[in-house]
Chains A and B, each alone.
Chain A
């Protein structure tokens, strides 16, 4: 069985500040890990994914995440927040190669203050 815990349902940062969204996972097999962003009334858009290659993964819009096996974590960061980053962010884990069967966390709402 696999699970995802996103620490902090709401995160608020000032524009230009560091963004850090936390994700811890549990998986009985080597995981594939994903971060998605969801804007209001829209579907999910993939930000980045870890598929057992480099542990530091770079994604779109300046986001990156680091896979730390010893900590079972996959935290999402961005050096400088922009107003357009305000959205809901979801961390997800899949069993091996089947990204289509993913387990999602409950999400973190990011607010960016001017």
Chain B
């Protein structure tokens, strides 16, 4: 049983560009959450998708958007990249329900030059 997978593993972009990161949830999971982890900090919640809709959102600008597909996989899009967007982007999946555990993928490391 594959866990949470993310692609690509590493990415280098320049300021102003756009990027798309991808996540496949653990088998049986229907909810995907995205986090940004800057160097030396804890993960910060970006948003959560369930039933193909954004259900919760953290304190991130509209440049950050996402999508969830019918197979529960998800994409994170970031437009107009800034140097400060350089970080490890983590995807976590879970099942909707009481106290369900979320499982994290290995992350995509984004460097914006």
Do A and B assemble together?
yes
Which residues of A approach B to under 8 Å, CB–CB?
Answer: 4, 32, 36, 41-46, 49, 51, 90, 92, 97-107
The reply to whether A107 and B97 form a contact with Cβ atoms under 8 Å apart is no
A93 to chain B, nearest CB (A): 11
Per-residue CB contact flags for chain B residues 59-94 toward chain A (1 = under 8 Å, else 0) read 000000000000000000000000000000010101
Interface size for B (C-beta < 8 A) is 28
The reply to whether B33 and A43 form a contact with Cβ atoms under 8 Å apart is no
The reply to whether A46 and B101 form a contact with Cβ atoms under 8 Å apart is yes
The reply to whether B33 and A101 form a contact with Cβ atoms under 8 Å apart is yes
Between A and B, 26 residue pairs with Cβ closer than 8 Å are A36-B104, A41-B106, A43-B4, A43-B104, A43-B107, A44-B43, A44-B92, A44-B104, A46-B102, A49-B101, A90-B43, A92-B42, A97-B100, A98-B48, A99-B99, A99-B100, A100-B31, A100-B33, A100-B56, A101-B45, A101-B48, A102-B45, A103-B45, A106-B41, A106-B42, A107-B41
